[in-house]
Amino acid sequence: MKTKTLLSILALATVISAFAQKPTMELTFTAENSGQYVPMDSILIENLTQGGDTTLYPPDTTLSLEYNVGINETDLSKNTFSVSQNYPNPFNEKTTVNLVLPGKDNIKITCRNMLGIELAHYEKVLNRGNHSFIFYCGAGSQYLLTVTGKQTSKTVKMLNSGSNIAKSGKCKIVYNGNVTGFKSSEALNGFVFNLGDELKYTAYTDVEETEKIDSPTGSQTYTFQFDGWDPCPGMSIITDIDGNTYNTVQIGNQCWMKENPKTTTYRNGTAIPNITDANAWESLTTGAYVWYGNGISWKGPYGALYNWYAAVDANGLCPTEWHVPTDDEWTALTDFIGGTGSPHSNELKSCRQVNSPLGGGCNTTEHPRWNNPQNGVFGTDDYGFSGLPGGYRNFSGYFDSVGYSGGWWSSTESSSASAGRFLSYNDGYVFVNYYSKQDGFSVRCLRD
């Protein structure tokens, strides 16, 4: 279930008149949910007046194009090196890519997965003209296909939406011969547009799509209503006893806080001890909290770190009508999203990350955020849980892993430990870990 997402399309038009150059226009696309960045899968731009379309795949979210102010300014017969976006895209089992060559050339076509591993290769000397290739996918869902000539290359991103795979289980590239009617460089890569043309924009996320039609004439902002994450019915924001406010999100039949608690007071008004000394922390058998590294500057980004005794204290760590989830309730969450295996950890992580390939507001060095993606692992926040790496405090009192990992308590006891959930910056799995009750971890509250 998802709430209203605002998709803002910022159209910045710069007119260049010197030396008879054509004006240029940049269309930049971004998605927001109540001010929070939301990653898109793709943006389709169609010219309803002239025909033709082009598609953007994040992190590429800006279309820069030259546009015509009159007719007959574009020569579609120009012979330049051009590679079409594959079609259909997304595809099921196979898809087609077209190539225009201005002259005889030794062409190399390579397909890789998102980790950069080569899956298929084709190489042949081709004559001048229009050529077609069919790509048969393996078991993956996303591919990068690069076509390289003597002096240039072009890469397109391809999405497999089906469950079918090639009979061999391997990717392959097959030459499909010469084609006619294929528009070359300016039509494919420049996206032909005259002022007054009517454009249709369609934005896609993992579960929804939305569209808007307009004839852009200059700088303007388009705002689309987009179905996104649903807040909890009748309780989109909650407030704890200290006055801290938290957004909520409905995931399946469960209603979660989207943020880690920051409270320093139990809900009955009893203060939670702030134990900064490592030796005192190690010997605790009652509830306590700390800020990471004993620095209150971490309160805003990641919330507090609590020992297990605070998480289950009868005075109540979570606001009224909310509680620390049991192990079974954590399992219900991961069952709903498909399990604990990779890449389900990514689906629970906030997309905020150093060098996030999603770009936009996801690509940031400012806390809160995950560290540099490793092994192709990066947060996508598919369900709005927005898990962040608040690190932890070991039972012996030292702090570690802010930016690298996040751990959350459950209320379920197991001897001297408790079953919690753990996410790491370099792994796509959701780990079920058993923590010492003296450890300090984050908490997420669940509605009763």
Which of 124, 158, 188 lies at the terminal end of a domain, its last residue?
Answer: 188
- 122 and 267 housed in the same domain: no
* 178 has pLDDT over 70: yes
**Structure confidence at residue 76 (pLDDT):** 35
For residue range 431-444, list pLDDT tens digits in order.
998 889 999 999 99
- Mean of pLDDT values over 222-234: 68
Q: Is residue 208 located within the same domain as residue 182? A: no
| pLDDT category of residue 290 using cuts at 50, 70 and 90 | very high
pLDDT(27) > 80: no
CATH number for the domain that contains residue 167: 2.60.40.1930
Residue 258, pLDDT > 80, answer: yes
Per the structure, the count of domains in the chain is 3
Q: Please indicate, yes or no, whether residues 35 and 177 belong to a single structural domain of this protein.
A: no
pLDDT at 20 over 60: no
pLDDT exceeds cutoff 70 at 207: no
Instruction: Identify whether residues 179 and 209 lie together within a single domain.
Output: no
pLDDT computed for residue 155 by the predictor? 84
**The domain boundary residue, chosen from 131, 164, 188:** 188
Q: Judge if 219 and 298 occupy the same domain.
A: no
Residues 6+ apart with CB under 8 A from 158: 86, 89, 91, 95, 135, 137, 142, 143, 144, 145
| CATH code, domain carrying 222 | 2.60.40.1970
Out of 64-68, 244-248, 340-344, 348-352, least confident range: 64-68
What percentage of the chain carries pLDDT values higher than 70?
78
pLDDT at 413 over 80: yes
Single pTM value for the model:
0.55
- 44 and 111 in one domain? no
Q: Is 307 found in the same domain as 247?
A: yes
| 158 in the same domain as 43 | no
Can you tell me the mean pLDDT for 319-332? 96
Domain ranges, residue 30? 1-74+192-228
Query: pLDDT digit string (tens) for 85-116?
Result: 777 777 777 888 888 887 888 999 999 887 77
Instruction: Based on the fold, state whether residues 313 and 440 are members of the same structural domain.
Output: yes
